[in-house]
Structure 1
């Protein structure tokens, strides 16, 4: 092996050219190569040999002559270097620097050429062995050496190659997190046909907050596959963009009831977001206090919406207030409205009914633009009694028009005033002029001033009529009274009067004794023409001895009386009214319980109840028939039936 010298090691040295049996041998074992350099079949002389033996001095050895041939083989040297770490690229190539050689002889001029080596494998690792596979020797003496390129010359690292991913990310509604859902993930930056894929399906938005085109990284992704160890995924890099949309929240509030005002406006209090709609820990509040009803119209428990509300707070931008959801319920009560009218005065009729005209609503009570007006023409006096400028309400009025449902008419309020004037006078019932009561009252009136006469059904006085009436025996039809000055014939006998109120008529019999009340219900008819009866209603009759009262009640079903039926004879008497007029009454009781009352022409238009009370009194006193036995009363004009 090359050692930088020409020294050669000799053996088996034999001499040629000796004489005879001279004793000569070669001493020494070294010679010299022709040069120090590597080579094969190189000439070697015997420069290190000498002659020995008894006869040695007789000879001379030519040491410059070739005594043998031999080879000088290259000397193996090693290298050391620095190898740079590298990012995985799928190859074993290493970059070398500061290469030095070890094993050179003396001052031989030899250097390493090249700057690459090879990692032991292509795969990622640290402290990996690097040989000098890309090195060679150079220099004057390079031929005398051989470099072992398989030997380790350095160590270095192969670091994972960073790859990026692209994906599709789904938009989402704000939920207070940055989590994003990924799909269709692909990798970029792989080497050759390496087997690497992405595992996982989640990433992260750049922030939790609402926005469009927001950057999404691959924080939830990882690498898989045979070559995955040689790569690193940059999970902080953007892999997609997507949007976080605002989360819809509803609000709750307290809304107060209001009276109709033609608007949908409503005032809200205690307004706050619905607790379940807000992400835990978020700062979200509701500002504003204005709400709106769905419409302006009156109604109970109507939905109220937060039209005038908005969201505030650090996280308000991540939410949107749902304006379509009700925040509260409240009622719109109808607006009370009053009317004015012209009221017609009337004569006392025992009821509170009033006739109205020119009825108008108070303009100040109507919301501008509303369609509303009033229907009806009936009102009510405060009571049925006679009086001047009596208050009248609009009890029979009603509202109409598109907006009528938003108002309520105050039918108890006064719409106007009018008078009720008196229309009744004292009257009397019929009784014979006999007995203690009749005689006493006759005597009293006979002593009065003026003369009293009776004739042709008319009682006259020379003075003003008194506020009493009398009971008389009735003169026979066509006959003259008993006597012109006969007190028993013409003077008043019994104080009586008729009082009416609320459909009730009472005939008071002043000199009769009070008795336990007896009751009956009967139907009242008027015979307007032959065989034609007009039903005037059903009445409850109460007889208390000194009072007969009639009051209208619900209609009673009763077979129409047959006036041709069998019954009692006609009985009669005379009623002397306080105005001095004598009224001759005729009554007859049919077998079916119908009392027929024949009215003279001077009271043909007397109120039905008054005329009926006269007839009932006559039947009681002249026929001895109490009200309980009577089923119906028929009032008819005077005719030839009477006996």
Structure 2
């Protein structure tokens, strides 16, 4: 009779999986050093020749299931045994991976705050999905280069965030704050001459940030002072630590004060001369609107009688008035006309002289006559006087013989 010896069934005990740090895979390392065979006959030679393990997923966790496949036995007595199964289960931990983050400060233009924008680099696994967040603050708000940025509140987000732990939640970086651009416009003032110094000062600014106003520009000034009528430039200048400034000039425009009209101009009386021209006397002219202490006079003026006839208190029209004096350029004369009164007196005609007595000075209405003596008069005693008749003027004595005695 022939008998068959069938392989004996075996089971494996004492096999385990090794804990690991998250590496983005499900691969598990098996520890078979303590494995033994349940059902092996004492003295037989067996070993576990092949096996592989995989975690249920790649993610970090404790007591995670490890599936073991491909179990096989080897050794001198392997042909006498058969495994009850080629698979098994174990458990192990996947611990979180440490993430090293480097914060990168981003340069910015001055915005009046210490807020800093950040970028990051880290040592994550290439295929993992992570988002790094945090808060960056410059040491102060002012413009400058290589400024320290303090980073706080570092945090990890993203699909794979649970597989990592940050080395720290704070960091340091550096970045620049460039000056913001702003325009400074000097103030302009329109005013009128008042015989006093007047000032245009101050400025406005555009481009200032974060609600700042002109008071932050402590290194900027604009001012111009002037007294006389004219246009004067108000120039702004200066610097600021946080703003790159462009300057626009303003102006102080002082308009001429107004002299409404002139009073007190007189016209001289004259003898009839056949024309309407009037000689004016401006010594006592008064200027309506002049400021106390200023000096004005009449530079030019034309006087004209209403007609050329003889009369009392005849109207004299004054035209072409123009101001003179040291302060004339500060005033504008509104009414360049005025009026006054003066007389044109009748001129008494002179007695016509004999034809042999020449007119001595007709321009000043001077007449002189000399009566000649006949023979009878010469012999009379006392002799007849030679008569000089003078009208409205001095006598030209050339060619006239003065007689001794009565005349």
From the two aligned structures, give the one with the greater helix fraction.
Answer: 1
Task: Decide: shared fold, TM above 0.5.
Answer: no
Higher RCO (C-alpha 8 Å, min separation 6): 2
What is the TM-score when the length of structure 2 is the normalising length? Answer: 0.43
Larger Rg: 1
